Structures are given as structure tokens and as C-alpha cells.
Amino acid sequence: MQLNKIKIENVEQWDVAKGKNFIAKPVTERNLHRSTLKMKTISSHHSVINEDVCISDYAFSKFRELRELDQITHQQIKESLSTTVNKEKVFKAGESEGKSGSFFFFSHDDKFIIKTMFQEELDIMIESLRQYHDYIEQNPSSLIARIYGVFQVEMEGIVPVNLLLMANTIQSLSPLNKIIKVFDLKGSWNNRIVHQGEKQTKKDRNLLSCKKQRQIKGQRGLLQFDQ
């Protein structure tokens, strides 16, 4: 089996499992693929460590169908996430931490995002996957975030980590579709408004104020507000 080789200089940046909420539960789902990869790691002290990486793929058939709906191939994902072209981004990944404490990684071409998941987030995702799958299938032009896979990664000496693979929604839009405003929606009104910066990402209360405009039009759909 081919060995992947990567040099780790700032080990502290790889401590993505910050806190008990990131610790994954044992995997018991039936609809699950497990694969073990051999990795050769070169530390900052130039010592070579050979170790197994166990990757569990949740609900692989459902997520495969979701990828196929968007014509996303395994080769596309492989090329976007290749360590060869993502070296610089990998070592800067520790800087991409959301306010929730989640760890974000954008592929070199900005097509895909990898995000760590709290265990409760994973539980909700798996529980609602069938409804999510059916909705995307029936509404292919929806702007709901496209999720292409949920994984659990296990390495010796590191607590298991849950990862989510999703499309970068803005990057996936057609170049002909002019983006006027971007909203980060959480489904909450508490501290969810931005007062300054026209180009700054807006929040839930900013979207509510768009009721005055009655509707927002876009190439992939129409959002109608009721008063």
C-alpha cells in the first residue's frame, strides 16, 4: 500500500480535538465503510513514524448519491484535497477556527471545505440525513449547503475526530450569478446582526430586514418573504 508522506513542523496546530465535545463516540452504524491507510509522518525532529489511520465513512451510499446529484466525482475530490497541492494550506489550517471552536480547512481551489463536527452535530446529521437527501433530490437548485460526506478519523495517540466534507457554496455558483450579499444564518436572533460594512457577511437579523424588499432573486432560486 502506498505511503503518504508529510512533514509536521508545528505539532500544536494539529490539536483539533479541543475539548470533550469533539471526542467521537464508538462507531456502531451498520451502513458504514471502514478503511485503514498507512501513513509515514516525519516530525520536526526528523524522526519517522509509521502509523495506521482508520477512516470510517458514515452512510456512504447516501452521500455518494448526493455527490452524484451534483456530478461530483471521486477524482475531483481527490485532486482538490491532494496533499501535494495543499501543503501551504495544511500548515495554515490551524488559523482557520470558527467562533464555535470548529476547525475549518478550505481546499486549494476553494471548491471544498472540511470541518470538524461536535458529536451532537454528527448525531443530528445522521438522524436527519434521509430528509436532507430527499430534499436535495427534489430541489436540486436549492442553495442549502451541499454535504458530501461525514467521516470519523482515528489515529494512535489522538482522540477520534468527526469530519464533514461540504461544497463551498459561493464557489459553486455560476460566474454569471452576481453575488450582492452573503448571509451566515444560524436560525437564531441572539447577537445575529451586523451594523457596519456593506461587503461584510450579514446575519439572521439582517436577512429579516430584507422583508422590506419583499424578495431576493437569484439565478438558482427565489426567496419570498411573508409579512
C-alpha dihedral over 109, 110, 111, 112, to 10 degrees?
A: 120
Q: 13-22, 34-43, 63-72, 159-168: lowest mean pLDDT where? A: 13-22
Whichever domain contains 102, its CATH number is: 3.30.800.10
Amino acid at 160: P
Q: Output 83 or 32, whichever has higher pLDDT.
A: 83
Residue 146 confidence (pLDDT): 94
Interhelix angle 129-138/119-127, nearest 10 degrees: 60
pLDDT category at 132 given cuts 50, 70, 90 is very high
Whole-angstrom distance, CA of residue 207 vs CA of residue 183:
7
Instruction: Say how far apart CA 197 and CA 201 lie, in whole Å.
Output: 8
128/215 same-domain check:
no
**168 plus 201 within the same structural domain:** no
pLDDT range class, residue 207, cuts 50, 70, 90? confident
Same-domain pairing of 109 and 191:
no
pTM of model > 0.85:
no
pLDDT in tens, 30-45: 455 655 555 555 444 5
Burial class (CB in 10 A: 0-12, 13-18, 19+), 212: exposed
**Does 166 have pLDDT greater than 50?**
yes
Query: pLDDT of 44-63, one tens digit each?
Result: 454 445 567 788 888 889 99
Q: Are residues 124 and 86 in the same domain?
A: yes
Q: How many domains are contained in the chain? A: 2
Together in a domain, 56 and 142: yes
Q: Residues 146, 70: contact at Cβ < 8 Å? A: yes
Whether residues 168 and 179 share a domain: the answer is no
Mean pLDDT, to the nearest integer, of 124-131?
91
Same domain flag for 150 and 182: no
Domain that holds residue 151: 4-172
Cβ neighbours of residue 17 closer than 8 Å, sequence gap 6 or more: 23, 116, 158, 159, 161
